[in-house]
């Protein structure tokens, strides 16, 4: 049974079991399809209170609008799946938008954007057992490391245990590491070649096994550094998009990095769902074309 967006609240209120039923019926697919590449749309930002797009501070707060954009993106050829928190993934399940798609649960969303405790990024989202129970395909966790903030140590330890829990279930986990620091009270991620190299080395060693670990990495400030940076690990890599100012320049940078041997695909969110220019369809199709 596929629902429309206006029907979601009624079903959630009267038939909460519909979520588990939809998950049990969902047709699954391998993580990597025939192309051997991954194109994942990300929508886990709202659970950290990160709702802004450019100067629109609450752009992602309209859930119906976000779901409509996600459904459009997931319908485009070459889009393999979605990364999101439980609330969004369950809406998409009820809408029937996750058939034959890779579904990735976002695991730690406790480091709220702008909070004093942002670096102590607690696991407040999907647990490994939730991802297994719902028949989802992978998990994702964020590891921001600030050498001056002791909260990063708690995040590192919790991340290592999450890697263990996912590996015990033979479920892939995508680790998104950054070396970060506070500038004027706000967390800023360091995208220099040295910082990204260090973050890869740290993330690759989390947990008792790396057999099911993937890396979700930014493109460095100088894209030409990516070749050397990615020599830090043999783990498979997907590129993250993030919010971009110049869409065309971002496509060019992604295209260069996608040619490197360990890069298997992309996980991109706001820049495709809320493109500065043009439609969701055009932005998604252009990104897919880079693969």
At residue 1, the pLDDT reads 58
- Mean pLDDT, to the nearest integer, of 37-47? 95
Whether residue 2 is predicted with pLDDT greater than 80 in this model: the reply is: no
The mean predicted confidence, pLDDT, of the chain is 94
First to last CA, the chain: 33
Residues 221 and 256: their CA atoms lie apart, in Å, by 13
Please tell me the total count of domains within the chain: 1
pLDDT digits (tens, 9 = 90+) for 57-88: 898 899 999 999 999 999 999 999 999 999 99
Contact 175, 187 (CB under 8 A): no
Evaluate if pTM is beyond 0.75.
yes
pLDDT at position 34 is 84
Give residue-wise pLDDT tens across range 165-219: 999 999 999 999 999 999 998 999 999 999 999 999 999 999 999 999 999 999 9
Question: pLDDT tens across 148-161, in order?
Answer: 999 999 999 999 99
Range of the domain at 286: 5-290
For residues 129-145, give the mean pLDDT: 97
105, 130 contact by CB (below 8 A) = yes
pLDDT at 111: 94
Instruction: Give the integer Cα–Cα distance in Å for 87 and 65.
Output: 15
Q: Is the pLDDT of residue 249 over 90?
A: no
State the SS3 of 176-231: EEEEEEEECCEEEEECCHHHHHHHHHHHHCCCCCCCCEEEEECCCCCHHHHHHHHH
Domain containing residue 51: CATH number = 3.20.20.70
Q: What average pLDDT does the segment 227-251 reach?
A: 88
What is the rounded distance in angstroms from the CA atom of residue 24 to the CA atom of residue 91?
15
More confident site: 91 or 250: 91
Tokens read off for 42:
């990300």
Mean pLDDT throughout 229-238?
A: 98
Alpha helices in the chain (DSSP H): 8-14, 18-25, 63-75, 86-94, 128-133, 151-168, 193-204, 226-229, 247-257, 270-273, 280-290
């Amino acid at each position: 049974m596929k629902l429309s967006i206006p029907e979601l609240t009624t079903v959630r209120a009267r038939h909460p079991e519909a979520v588990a039923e939809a998950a049990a019926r969902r047709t699954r697919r391998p993580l990597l399809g025939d192309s051997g590449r991954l194109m994942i749309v990300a929508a886990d930002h709202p659970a950290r209170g990160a709702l802004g797009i450019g100067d629109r501070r609450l752009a992602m707060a309209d859930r119906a609008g976000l779901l409509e954009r996600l459904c459009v993106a997931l319908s485009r050829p070459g889009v393999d799946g979605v990364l999101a928190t439980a609330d969004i993934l369950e809406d998409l399940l009820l809408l029937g938008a996750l058939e034959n798609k890779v579904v990735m649960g976002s695991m730690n969303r406790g480091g709220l954007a702008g909070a004093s405790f942002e670096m102590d990024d607690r696991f407040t989202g999907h647990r490994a057992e939730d991802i297994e129970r719902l028949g989802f395909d992978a998990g994702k966790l964020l590891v921001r490391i600030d050498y001056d903030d002791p909260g990063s140590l708690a995040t590192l330890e919790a991340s290592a245990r999450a890697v263990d829990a996912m590996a015990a279930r033979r479920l892939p986990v995508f680790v998104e590491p950054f070396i970060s620091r506070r500038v004027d009270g706000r967390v800023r991620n360091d995208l220099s070649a040295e910082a990204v190299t260090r973050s890869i080395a740290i993330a690759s060693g989390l947990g008792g096994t790396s057999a099911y670990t993937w890396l979700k990495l930014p493109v460095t400030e100088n894209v030409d550094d990516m070749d050397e940076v990615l020599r830090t690990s043999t783990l498979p890599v997907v590129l993250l998009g993030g919010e971009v100012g110049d869409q065309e320049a971002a496509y060019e940078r992604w295209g260069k990095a996608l040619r490197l041997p360990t890069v298997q695909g992309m996980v991109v969110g706001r820049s495709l769902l809320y493109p500065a220019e043009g439609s969701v369809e055009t932005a998604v199709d252009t990104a897919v074309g880079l693969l």
